[in-house]
Amino acid sequence: MSDAPHQKKNFGEESLAVQAMGVVDPQTHAVVPPIHISTTFIRDADNAYRSGFAYGRADNATVRELEAVLKMLEHGAASLAFGSGMSAALAVFLSLPRGARLLAPSVMYWALRRWLMNEATSHGLQVRFVNMEDLDAVRAAAQAGCDLIWVETPSNPLWGVVDLAAVAEVAHEAGARLAVDSTCATPVLTQPLLLGADIVMHSASKYINGHSDVVAGVLVTRTTDELWERIEKMRASHGMLLGPFEAFLVMRGLRTMHLRVRAACANALDLAHRFQSHPLVADVLYPGLATHPQHEIASRQMKGGFGGMLSVRVRGGEATAIATAAGVRLWKRATSLGGVESLLEHRASVEGAGSPCPDDLLRLSCGIELADDLYADLDAALRAGVAR
């Protein structure tokens, strides 16, 4: 593979993402580079590996191309792609030394919260959950002893916003690192590393791929320090590397990410405004609303939109919320988020006991359909849900 010619020039992030860094195959001059599927590589006569590749569990050229785009988008020093968002996050946690002290958000992506609650201790980690929107609480907890602060913003499924620059300062004062699950902010809207974070994580299954057909995860680091080297080794030894076909699909998704994310943000903002005055909706949770408690932070931190995710709390409680979900036709009742198709979910049913999610809440992942159609469909389902 020739080097990426665009990399040396000052083209915008969006142009580089659209062209997957402008990588051109030197043999064919193909506009779209080939997928590298070989798991093994020929040694030279002197037994050395000239290409830098030896075996497919540790590394892959197609995955490296994807990592180059993500490193550029997040302004990091290096990037690693994983077989899922969960494995990317767990590679960070499991690479910390035994006894490491972690601060995690009280509201966060459920599967990760469950792992931190139920599994982390057996791996020698000490976890404390704090409200990351309360800076004084975070500072107090960090100063009591902390090695890593993990935050998610906007956070599932209540969409609170964490002030990344402020929490980075708190982390560094305490001698800790800051890692950010930026899945719902996307690399289009927020660049945590530029705000002081040390590691950014994405579930690429969501907006980065954007078509609900790949499970993938990524990490990008500000510096290639000792922790990063341990993460890299863990990925190789545990076989957490993303597959080449999946890497190709994620790169294809990335080519339209900026357009998709902007369209999803516009739909979410439009729906948030309309449902705010809907007679059957008790509350709309969305950082783009002026009434959102962290709207000012979100306006500063998120560039060009407030994300495609919002939640509505339905009047009439759990039964009405579930009946409303049952009535949609265009929205799909499904978990996950960040695809081109709009999804809706009664989140409390998924998260079960111990979840901070209210039982009258429907989580909406806005896709890129027409906002009028999305509104009309959910409006009809709300009216039918109440009538039941």
Ligand X SMILES: *Cc1c(COP(=O)(O)O)cnc(C)c1O
Comparing CB distances to ligand X, the nearer of 194 and 350 is 350
Phi then psi dihedrals of residue 166, to 5 deg: -70, -45
Question: Could you say which of 64, 101, 139, 206 is catalytic?
Answer: 206
Side chain identity, residue 200 = V
Residues 89, 54: Cα–Cα separation, whole Å? 26
Write out the binding residues for ligand X, residues 72-91 only, by CB under 6 A: 84-86
Comparing CB distances to ligand X, the nearer of 60 and 212 is 212
Cis peptide leading into 157, omega within 30 of 0?
yes
Cβ of residue 205: shortest distance to ligand X, in angstroms? 4
The interface mask with ligand X, positions 212-231, x = CB under 6 A, is ---x-x--------------
Alpha carbon distance, N-terminus to C-terminus of the chain: 61
Write out the binding residues for ligand X, residues 298-357 only, by CB under 6 A: 337
Q: How many other β-carbons are positioned within 10 Å of the β-carbon of residue 61?
A: 21
Q: Is 359 a catalytic residue?
A: no
Cβ of residue 218: shortest distance to ligand X, in angstroms? 10
The number of residues that bind ligand X (CB under 6 A) is 16
Comparing CB distances to ligand X, the nearer of 18 and 115 is 115
Q: What is the three-state SS of 70-112?
A: HHHHHCCCEEEEECCHHHHHHHHHHHCCCCCEEEEECCCCHHH
Cβ of residue 158: shortest distance to ligand X, in angstroms? 12
Please pick, from the candidates 79, 205, 311, 342, the single residue that binds ligand X as defined by CB under 6 A. Answer: 205
Q: Assess 103 for contact with ligand X (CB under 6 A).
A: no
Q: Is 49 a catalytic residue?
A: no
> Given the rule CB under 6 A, which of 133-141, 202-210, 236-244, 314-322 is the region that contacts ligand X?
202-210
Strands, DSSP E only, in 210-360? 217-221, 281-285, 309-314, 332-333, 343-346
Please pick, from the candidates 59, 181, 246, 351, the single residue that binds ligand X as defined by CB under 6 A. Answer: 181
Q: Is 283 a catalytic residue?
A: no
Comparing CB distances to ligand X, the nearer of 217 and 243 is 217
Q: How far is CA 373 from the centre of its chain?
A: 27
Residues 351, 188: Cα–Cα separation, whole Å? 28
Q: Is 383 a catalytic residue?
A: no
Please pick, from the candidates 183, 311, 320, 342, the single residue that binds ligand X as defined by CB under 6 A. Answer: 183
For 388, residues 6+ apart whose C-beta sits below 8 A from its C-beta are 320, 323
Structure tokens belonging to residue 88: 């990317």
Write out the binding residues for ligand X, residues 135-164 only, by CB under 6 A: 152, 156
Q: Which residues pair with 346 in a beta bridge?
A: 362
Cβ of residue 206: shortest distance to ligand X, in angstroms? 5
Check residue 219 and give left, alpha or beta (phi > 0: left; psi -120 to 50: alpha): beta
Please pick, from the candidates 93, 109, 275, 306, the single residue that binds ligand X as defined by CB under 6 A. Answer: 109
Q: Assess 263 for contact with ligand X (CB under 6 A).
A: no
Check residue 233 and give left, alpha or beta (phi > 0: left; psi -120 to 50: alpha): alpha
Which residues contribute to the site for ligand X (CB under 6 A)? Answer: 84-86, 109, 112, 152, 156, 181, 183-184, 203, 205-206, 215, 217, 337
* Catalytic machinery residues: 57, 109, 181, 206
